[in-house]
Chain A
């Protein structure tokens, strides 16, 4: 069962790219792959995650206070 699953995965990885090459829809990824725009995305995601985690921790404190 496991072996079947792995071989299926392998097959998908092998075959999917060739399917993707078939339809030539120009998307932003191809346009900006070398433009380092993903660096900006990573930076913004880091900032967003950090702030959200801090807000969640504050929110937990408020909930705990409300309970008591």
Chain B
């Protein structure tokens, strides 16, 4: 990862944490100060969705070109996205506990998000079930595209058709003037960018580990062959 990337990620998140706790927010009943969770809980979902889009892109590229590194990027993006999804789910449960009265309310958005995460956990399980690396990469790339095609309507379309505790549901657009005022946008957009950049940073690290591991296994296999040839 380039240095400018790391520095700008850290600066953005530092701004988000300081600004997120100290900048003025609208005074609303029930949510009170917890409205500031918008800068931390919501970017988890944005980051997850952006990473899943990146993963789908890499899967398409893999199917076109068949380079192993493209498959590595696709898997590790999903790994980080699932981490973000789990964090989004658990932080949402904390927030819901104090504003909606219970950690789990069977809210359509909550349920769909949980299903979305499970679809991607199935992707990881599917990969674990296939031993041949070429077949694993190809089959999981195709599954990944299907998963993304299901995930988007599950999260962004279906919950809007029903009543939900989340803002912007029941036919209303999300992030209208009632949910988000202009000072909040000044922290919210950098928050989405910052948390997503952090996710990509983590993903690139994990990709590096995966590739080093493969190289190591190749070297060991090579040595094994040499030893067998010598004896």
A12-68 with Cβ < 8 A to chain B: 32, 34-37, 39-40, 42-44, 46-47, 50-51, 54-55, 58, 61-62, 65, 68
Q: Is the CB of B36 within 8 A of A62?
A: no
Q: Write 23 A-B pairs (CB below 8 A) sorted by A numbering.
A: A32-B33, A34-B32, A35-B32, A36-B31, A36-B98, A37-B21, A37-B34, A39-B37, A40-B20, A40-B36, A43-B94, A46-B94, A47-B40, A47-B91, A50-B87, A51-B83, A51-B198, A54-B202, A58-B202, A62-B208, A62-B209, A65-B216, A68-B216
Q: Is the CB of A46 within 8 A of B90?
A: yes
Interface centre among A36, A39, A61, A62 (most CB of B within 10 A): A39
| B202 partner residues in chain A, CB cutoff 8 A | 51, 54-55, 58
- Partner of B83 from the list A34, A36, A50 (CB cut-off 8 Å) is A50
Q: Is the CB of A37 within 8 A of B36?
A: yes
Interface size classification for chain B: 20 to 34
| B185 partner residues in chain A, CB cutoff 8 A | none
Interface size classification for chain A: 20 to 34
Docked Cα-Cα span, A47 to B89, in Å, equals 10
| B20 partner residues in chain A, CB cutoff 8 A | 40
- Beyond A58-B202, A65-B216, is A46–B99 a contact (Cβ under 8 Å)? no
Residues of A that sit less than 8 Å from B by CB: 32, 34-37, 39-40, 42-44, 46-47, 50-51, 54-55, 58, 61-62, 65, 68
Please classify the interface of chain A as helix (H, G, I), strand (E, B), loop, or mixed, using the class held by over half of its residues.
helix
| B212 partner residues in chain A, CB cutoff 8 A | 62, 65
Q: Is the CB of B40 within 8 A of A65?
A: no
Task: Determine how close the nearest CB of chain B comes to the CB of A45; give it in whole angstroms.
Answer: 9
Docked Cα-Cα span, A40 to B33, in Å, equals 8
Q: Is the CB of A36 within 8 A of B32?
A: yes
Docked Cα-Cα span, A46 to B93, in Å, equals 11
| A61 partner residues in chain B, CB cutoff 8 A | 209, 213
- Taking A36-B98, A54-B80, A65-B216 as given, write out 8 further A-B residue pairs in contact, using a Cβ cutoff of 8 Å, ordered by the A residue number: A34-B32, A35-B33, A37-B21, A39-B99, A40-B21, A46-B90, A58-B206, A68-B216
Q: Is the CB of A36 within 8 A of B17?
A: no
Docked Cα-Cα span, A46 to B44, in Å, equals 12
Task: Determine how close the nearest CB of chain A comes to the CB of B180; give it in whole angstroms.
Answer: 16
